[in-house]
Amino acid sequence: MNSTEKIKCELVEKLGIFLEKKEQMAPVAARIFSYVILTGKQGTTFEDLVSNLCASKSTISTHLNHLQDLKKLSYFTKIGDRKKYFIINSDTMLQGINSMIEEWKNERELHMEIKDYKEEVNKALEEENKFELGYHDSFIGFLDGAISSIIKLKETIVK
C-alpha cells in the first residue's frame, strides 16, 4: 500500500465516523459513502468496495442499494465493461445545503420570536431584572452570516 492509499484509508475511516454521527448512517454505509467521495469522478466498483472495506459482498450490496435509494449515490457504466462505477449523486451536496439553509432560517426565526418576547417583557421589568438580549443579537447575526455564506457556496456549485 503506497502512502496515498494509506492516507485514503485513514480518511475513509475519519469521514466515515463523522458521517455515522452527522447523517446517522450505518457504519458500513458511512465507509462506502466516504470511499466513493474520496474516489471522485472516476467512480469505484462493487469489487473495489468489497476489497478495500473488508466487508462481505452481501453487506456491501445491502448498503450500496440503500445509499442509491436515498439518492446519495448513482452509477455509470463504461462501454465494453459490465461493471457499475459508483459516484456521488450530483444533487447530494445541494440537498444537504438546502437542508442547512432551511434549518438555520427556522432557528433564526425562533430566536427572533424569543428576542421580541423578551423585549416586550423587559418593558415591565425593573432594570436589574431585565433579560439580556446581546446573546440573541449575536446569534442572529451569526446565523445571518452563515446563511449568506452557504447561499454563496450553493450558487458556486450550481454554476
Asked whether the CA dihedral 101, 105, 106, 110 is positive or negative, the reply is positive
Residue linked to cell 500500500: 1
DSSP secondary structure string for all residues of 79-107: TTEEEEEEEE-THHHHHHHHHHHHHHHHH
The angle at the Cα of 148, spanning 144 to 149, to the nearest 5 degrees, equals 120
Cβ atoms of 43 and 76 closer than 8 Å? yes
Please name the residues in contact with 19: beta carbons below 8 A apart, sequence gap of 6 or more: 25, 30, 33, 34
DSSP state of 125: S
pLDDT of residue 1: 72
Report the alpha-carbon distance of residue 44 to residue 19 in Å, rounded: 19
Q: Give the ranges where 23-133 is alpha helix by DSSP (H).
A: 27-39, 46-53, 57-69, 91-122
CA 141 vs CA 92, 106, 135, 136: distances in Å: 28, 14, 10, 8
pLDDT of residue 158: 82
CA neighbor of 117 nearest in space, from 98, 104, 136: 136
pLDDT of residue 93: 84
CATH number of 3-89: 1.10.10.10
CA neighbor of 32 nearest in space, from 62, 68, 60, 69: 60
Q: H or E stretch including 150? A: helix 134-158
pLDDT of residue 92: 85
Which residues does the chain have with pLDDT short of 70? none
pLDDT of residue 157: 84
pLDDT of residue 28: 97
